[in-house]
Amino acid sequence: MFGSLLADVLLGKAEEYGFTVAALSRHGKAIEERFSDFVGKGYFEIIEQDVNMPFADRGVFDSIFECASNTCPEQYAGDPIGTVMTNISGLKNSLDVFSGEKGGRFVFTSSVEIYGQNRGDVGKFSEDYCGYIDCNTVRAGYNESKRAGESLCQAYGAVKDIDFIIPRISRSYGPTLRDSDNKALSQFIRNAVSGEDIVLKSAGTQLYSYVYSADAVDAILFLFFNGIRGEAYNVSGREPNLTLKEIAEALADIAGTQLRFEQVSEEENRGYSKATTAVLDISKIKKLGWEPRFGMEEGLRRAVSSFCECR
């Protein structure tokens, strides 16, 4: 979700600061449509390529923002192999074409999911926390491959002396979400934009950290310039954190509709996170000087407003 917004920001500054942005995707046509204002510009290159296939023949890159990943329950359940391999072999292919020249850095966008389930011993996850993951499940492929990806970055740092940082992004939302994204919050936002009732498929007691996509991109770029080499940093939005039911109620209020409950399907349930509490402690990135701009309710209003303006 935030990868395309990150590309927007970089492309908006590329000509002014004299750098080139290369966007890698399996779907070159979709990239052309998404970034049509920049197609044909000398500072924009489209690489139509599966990140899981080596692309060393494309040359090397001074800086890389590795954002490629399956990111929603439908993909975790429907494409479990692709989910795992993108976070490991895809990441390796990106690491292999990183040069680090001209002050460049490698940014691997990791996830709150690496922490697993809260064991009940902390209120918030700090960067050194390790929760429970039932690794013998299809759903664990995302969590475990993100963990493995972080370890791969550490290995490349130790052996090849690369300069990397790892933002661990909380559950993100915003106007750049894809139609295929079936995370609960993404479905809520689409319901609100369409003027439909907000459909909740659980009791809604889950308490998570969330981050508005603009805040996520701001944090990623802040860490690119200010993060300590080899370190991981939690990233989330402004408190207070809301339960899933409170979020659904807020969106129903924004849309002027109702909240109703439905039974989750078996296929959806296979892809959903089993974590019920996943709140991030962001004091580490705050000590560097970063602060999130958006709280949950303001972010939701902005997301719905942006979608409505584009319709």
pLDDT level of residue 151 (50, 70, 90 thresholds): very high
Query: Which residue would you say has higher pLDDT here, 229 or 269?
Result: 229
Q: Phi and psi at residue 171, in whole multiples of 5°?
A: -60, 120
Beta-ladder partners of 238? 295
Q: What is the identity of the amino acid at 244? A: L
Tell me the pTM: 0.93
Fold of the CATH domain 50-310? Rossmann fold (3.40.50)
Q: Which helix (H) or strand (E) holds 266?
A: helix 266-271
Q: What is the identity of the amino acid at 114? A: I
pLDDT at position 178:
77
Compute the distance between CA of residue 25 and CA of residue 51 in angstroms, rounded to an integer.
Answer: 7
How many alpha carbons lie under 13 Å from residue 223 in its C-beta half-sphere? 30
pLDDT digits (tens, 9 = 90+) for 16-63: 999 999 999 999 999 999 999 999 999 999 999 999 999 888 899 999
- What mean pLDDT do residues 158-172 have? 98
Structure tokens belonging to residue 137: 């499940």
**How buried is 160 (Cβ within 10 angstroms: 0-12 exposed, 13-18 middle, 19+ buried)?**
exposed
